[in-house]
Amino acid sequence: MQAATSSCDLKFRSSLPTAKNQRFTHAVPKRVAVTCGYKSESFSFPNGVSVSRSDWQSSCAILSSKVASVESSGGLADKIAAVNGHTNGSVNLGIVPVESTNVKLAPVQPLTITDLSPAPLHGSSLRVAYQGVPGAYSEAAAGKAYPNCDAIPCDQFDVAFQAVELWIADRAVLPVENSLGGSIHRNYDLLLRHRLHIVGEVQIPVHHCLLALPGVRTACVSRVISHPQALAQTEHSLDVLTPHAAREAFHDTAAAAEYIAANNLHDTAAVASARAAELYNLQILADGIQDDPGNVTRFLMLAREPIIPRTDRPFKTSIVFAAQEHKGTSVLFKVLSAFAFRDISLTKIESRPHHNRPLRVVGDGSFGTAKNFEYMFYVDFEASMAEPRAQNALSEVQEYTSFLRVLGSYPMDMTPWSMTSTEEA
């Protein structure tokens, strides 16, 4: 871990009752929230233990030694390494090497009995970071991905990534696409910026409700607040229910419900989940107001270490790559053909601007007559990296790309889902 004082540290804030929200916090479980901060301070954990930065670095030194043993074990990881993050012929998929710093680390502490204890059961005692507040759909996704987990709300997507990187959380569950609103580009950019691995996916049906304070009638609502996507997904229903109400964007659906309860707003309603109504003591004016009953959001589960791919169940693999300039305009076709020839189904293709190289001159050097945007391409395909056909496909893709990184090879979400599902979210 780098010991830079200007780095974005994470601090906890306990969601204890205040004068404004004391009346409804009895329904909200006591949680720990993660927010951005820029202070050099000791870390505080939910169990009351506070350690200094030197103690933190000592713990990381132990973990780094475990990582080194994993890197030297070889096997399937070496095959994936041949295509991950290569540039100019060099390959490096394994775990990101620890950069040397001038910081003098404290002596490595000996292992204790807790270090040798067995790993927890699936979802048990895991700390899972998500963006939003209790009652958000992301919290429901965290609960579905890891039942009985300790969900940690974060105020930003980037903070959820950092919470896992700094060992404050064990996993992060973040949305990447909605069946109506499309891709969440912010999280695709963060996947490339951070070095976390995709270890799974979950899909959550979006079930919107119109919420207000107890006793408020729909005719008295003069303003409706929610996330812009939620307002767009309930546009026609709101035209019927509240035709004269103004609509205002809020950063989160559940946060909109919390805001109404905390400020005792009798003229405002929120579009959020039924769980948000329960947590913040709001009444449901209208249930299931989404315009499309097939509204689903897909979430990714992220971890510091990748899982070992298998072939005993359906797997999906996510990659990101940049095409080589000198290969011509047919590079994308050649890349896609590498999968088609091996009968590998692609489930998603997403392009994002190349931040470091936004433009490319087409033509004879400085006399080029056109400039094209440079893109990074995100591709999801239905195959496990344990399958030879997937390994061979990526080996061929490597020939046409200047950068290629495997974001993760993980089990597909095969949970049965009904169009009339009213699952709590």
CATH number at residue 179: 3.40.190.10
- Of the two residues 290 and 363, the one the predictor is more confident about is 290
**In terms of domains, do 132 and 258 share one?**
no
- Of the two residues 230 and 21, the one the predictor is more confident about is 230
**In terms of domains, do 89 and 173 share one?**
no
Average pLDDT, the chain: 76
**Which entry of 161, 250, 299, 403 is annotated as an active-site residue?**
299
112 counts as catalytic: no
36 located within any domain: yes
82 located within any domain: yes
- In angstroms, the CA 381 to CA 314 distance is 11
**In terms of domains, do 13 and 137 share one?**
yes
**In terms of domains, do 43 and 145 share one?**
yes
What's the pLDDT score for residue 326? 58
Domain of residue 343: give its range: 75-104+306-418+421-425
114 counts as catalytic: no
Q: What is the DSSP letter of 90?
A: B
Q: Looking at residues 115-123, what average pLDDT do you find?
A: 49
- In angstroms, the CA 46 to CA 49 distance is 7
For the chain, the farthest-separated pair of C-alpha atoms sits apart, in whole angstroms, at 72
Q: Looking at residues 202-206, what average pLDDT do you find?
A: 93
69 located within any domain: no
**Residue 122: band (very low, low, confident or very high) from pLDDT cuts 50, 70, 90:** low
**In terms of domains, do 224 and 192 share one?**
no
- Of the two residues 202 and 374, the one the predictor is more confident about is 202
Alpha-carbon torsion (190, 290, 146, 346), positive or negative: negative
194 located within any domain: yes
What's the pLDDT score for residue 328? 53
- Among 186, 203, 220, where does a domain finish? 203
**Which entry of 25, 253, 297, 401 is annotated as an active-site residue?**
297
Per residue in 386-412, pLDDT tens?
Answer: 999 999 999 999 988 888 999 999 999
How many domains is the chain partitioned into structurally? 3
**In terms of domains, do 248 and 279 share one?**
yes
**In terms of domains, do 23 and 149 share one?**
yes
391 located within any domain: yes
Phi, psi values for residue 14, rounded to 5° = -85, 135
Alpha-carbon torsion (17, 21, 23, 24), positive or negative: negative
**In terms of domains, do 335 and 402 share one?**
yes
How many CA atoms lie less than 13 Å away from 122 in the CB half-sphere?
7
Could you tell me the CA-to-CA distances from 388 to 92, 93, 204, 395 in Å, in that order?
A: 19, 17, 32, 10
Does residue 324 register a pLDDT over 90? no
Tokens of 112: 């204790």
**In terms of domains, do 273 and 132 share one?**
no
**In terms of domains, do 44 and 130 share one?**
yes
135: helix, strand or coil = coil
Looking at mean pLDDT, say which of 28-32, 101-105, 281-285 comes out highest.
Answer: 281-285
Q: Which residue has the tokens 């991950």?
A: 84
334 located within any domain: yes
**In terms of domains, do 314 and 392 share one?**
yes
Nearest Cα residue to 360 out of 400, 396, 403, 329: 329
pTM of the entire predicted model: 0.68
**In terms of domains, do 93 and 214 share one?**
no
- In angstroms, the CA 132 to CA 255 distance is 7
- Among 203, 219, 254, where does a domain finish? 203
199 located within any domain: yes
